[in-house]
Amino acid sequence: MVHTSVPLPSMTALRVMLAIAERGSTTAAAESINLSQSAVSKQLLTLENLLGAQIFTRKPSGMVPTALGRIYLEQAQVAIKAMEEAAFRAASLQPDSHTLRLKVLPILGDRWLLPRFSDFNQKHPDIDVQYTTFATDNPAAQPDAIFRFGRGPFTNEESIYLFGEDVRLVCAPAYLARLGPCETLDDAARGVIIEHPGTPLRWVDLVEGHGKPELEPQGVMRFDYYTLVLRAAISGQGMALVPPQLVEEELQAGNLVNPGGIRYVSKVAYWFTTAADRKPSPALKAFQLWLMKQVE
């Protein structure tokens, strides 16, 4: 047996680190992993003391991984994926398992699915739902269903459309007050657009949808995490393009508005998919029925 003196972080610490990287702050990370803000901060401090260096630096846009942090973030994803696959394989050994394994996109899970999930849990307390954000090639650890964002329906899969074709321009009321009247695309072009470079919810998609591909905004602010795009819009730093279902609470509370009703029809959307060649379990059927009621 080989012994090592290299300090190894706990799985909780790894999840905290991934949540902070994704959400940009300890407060937002705490919300996403159901811990208190103080517990998240304590886990981060313990981890940084263990490693003897900072994992994140604090910037106006949020907490950004250091060079050391990027190394551990990459390996943290590998470690958590391995443990999730082990849990999936163990569950598959149980006869008549009531375990349901779902692969979910972080932004969809955080902003839309989990706020509703307590309803499913109350109606089906016997079903153990396990979430993962990682893909796997291991047949024994394949999820029972996958939440996708793309151009559906998908080949060799049963696809249920959720939402996403309706995309709206949103911003905080305070930002709109600074921008001035905004009733048209030309008005909106006087502002700053906040977007994720790898997500097809960008200014170029909006103007192409309105037949004005040459129209450019005054400025563009980009974030590598879509959660930070939404957070920046909510805090009044600019305008973002988003399906309204992901910001329902903010729109209802008036923390976000849709100036001029500006919107477009997107070619990509959120879907719930299952393998066409696999018989759905009773647990999966129950979840599908519940899910379809959520999008009626």
**DSSP states of 222-257:** E-SSHHHHHHHHHTTS-EEEE-GGGGHHHHHHTSSB
Q: Does domain 11-83 have CATH number 1.10.40.30?
A: no
Q: Which residues contact 92 (CB under 8 A, 6 or more apart)?
A: 99, 140, 141
pLDDT at residue 137, rounded to an integer = 53
User: Cα(58)–Cα(64) distance, rounded to whole angstroms?
Assistant: 6
Task: Give the mean pLDDT of the chain.
Answer: 87
Instruction: Report the predicted TM-score, pTM, of the whole model to 2 decimal places.
Output: 0.69
Q: Domain 166-265 is of which CATH architecture?
A: 3-Layer(aba) Sandwich (3.40)
Write out residues in the chain with pLDDT < 70, as ranges.
Answer: 1-7, 32, 34, 84-97, 134-141
**All CATH 1.10.10.10 domain ranges in the chain, comma separated:** 11-83
Summarize pLDDT for 227-240 with one digit per residue, the tens: 899 999 999 999 99
Neighbours of 10 (CB within 10 A): 12
**Domain 94-164+269-294, CATH homologous superfamily name and number:** Periplasmic binding protein-like II (3.40.190.10)
Summarize pLDDT for 273-282 with one digit per residue, the tens: 998 888 888 9
pLDDT at residue 33, rounded to an integer = 74
pLDDT at residue 205, rounded to an integer = 94
**All CATH 3.40.190.10 domain ranges in the chain, comma separated:** 94-164+269-294, 166-265
